[in-house]
């Protein structure tokens, strides 16, 4: 019998996730060629059977193939490729379009956890989280998260949308 991964609470609204997650970036050719799909599916099954409930993917991984492969619970936004160069995006139009595209690729009506890949330093976090909050209110997202954010940025985001 495999050891189960410990679960932790995220925020104050009842969301629980495994303390360890499965980072999925390397599944879609970020570190060399894409891995064979059967191997990736076996890895995902192993992680889930071990108690992992947080599968960390993004709209930029693949691009898009990672989300399509997983078709699961959580994904990120905020990084995109423009003319072959990765750029960070946090403007309202990008946030809205990225969420709608992720929902379509994941074939979901609602994403459980949608977190910003990296904070866009050109857009105040209040603007980015404000747009994400609209998606929560519309029922497209349950929870908003931030990746690679400072404590002060998290506090500013929390002031806009406590989670």
**Pairwise pLDDT comparison (132 vs 72), residue with the higher score:** 132
Residue 34 confidence (pLDDT): 79
Say whether pLDDT at 2 is over 60.
Answer: no
Q: What's the pLDDT tens digit per position in 23-78?
A: 888 887 677 887 887 888 788 878 888 888 888 887 777 777 777 777 544 567 77
Residue 53 CB contacts under 8 Å (≥ 6 apart), including other chains? 5, 7, 16, 17, 18, 73
- Average pLDDT estimate for 138-150: 91
In a domain, 2, yes or no: no
The total of structural domains in the chain comes to 1
In a domain, 13, yes or no: yes
Residue 38 confidence (pLDDT): 80
Q: Report the CATH number at residue 128.
A: 3.20.20.100
Please name the helix (run of DSSP H) or strand (run of DSSP E) that holds residue 65, with its range, or none.
helix 65-70
- Residue 50, CB-side half-sphere exposure with 13 Å CA sphere: 16
Residue 97 confidence (pLDDT): 92
Residue 152 confidence (pLDDT): 96
Its pTM surpasses 0.75: no
- Average pLDDT estimate for 70-90: 74
Residue 71 confidence (pLDDT): 59
DSSP 132-147: HHHHHHTTSEEEEEES
Is there a contact between 87 and 81 (Cβ–Cβ < 8 Å)? yes
**Pairwise pLDDT comparison (30 vs 141), residue with the higher score:** 141
Q: Which residues are catalytic?
A: 61
In a domain, 1, yes or no: no
**Pairwise pLDDT comparison (129 vs 77), residue with the higher score:** 129
In a domain, 67, yes or no: yes
In a domain, 132, yes or no: yes
Q: Nearest to residue 128, comparing CAs of 113, 145, 152, 104? A: 145
In a domain, 28, yes or no: yes
User: Could you give the CA distance from residue 100 to residue 136 in angstroms, rounded to a whole number?
Assistant: 12
Cis peptide leading into residue 63 (ω within 30°) = yes
Residue 73: which domain range?
A: 7-160
User: Could you give the CA distance from residue 111 to residue 109 in angstroms, rounded to a whole number?
Assistant: 7
Q: What's the pLDDT tens digit per position in 90-103?
A: 889 989 999 998 88
In a domain, 68, yes or no: yes
């Amino acid at each position: 019998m495999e050891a189960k991964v410990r679960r932790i609470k995220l925020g104050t609204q009842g969301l629980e996730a495994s303390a360890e997650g499965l980072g999925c970036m390397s599944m879609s050719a970020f570190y060399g060629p894409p891995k064979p799909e059967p191997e990736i599916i076996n890895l995902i099954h192993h992680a889930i059977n071990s108690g992992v409930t947080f599968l960390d993917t993004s709209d930029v991984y693949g691009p898009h193939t990672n989300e399509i492969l997983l078709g699961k619970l959580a994904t990120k936004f905020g990084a995109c490729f423009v003319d072959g160069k990765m750029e960070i995006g946090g403007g309202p139009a990008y946030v809205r379009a990225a969420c709608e595209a992720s929902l379509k690729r994941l074939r979901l009506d609602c994403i459980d956890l949608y977190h910003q890949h990296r904070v866009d330093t050109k857009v105040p976090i209040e603007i980015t989280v404000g747009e994400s909050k609209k998606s929560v209110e519309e029922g497209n997202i349950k929870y908003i998260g931030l990746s690679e954010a400072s404590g002060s940025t998290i506090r500013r985001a929390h002031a806009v949308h406590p989670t």
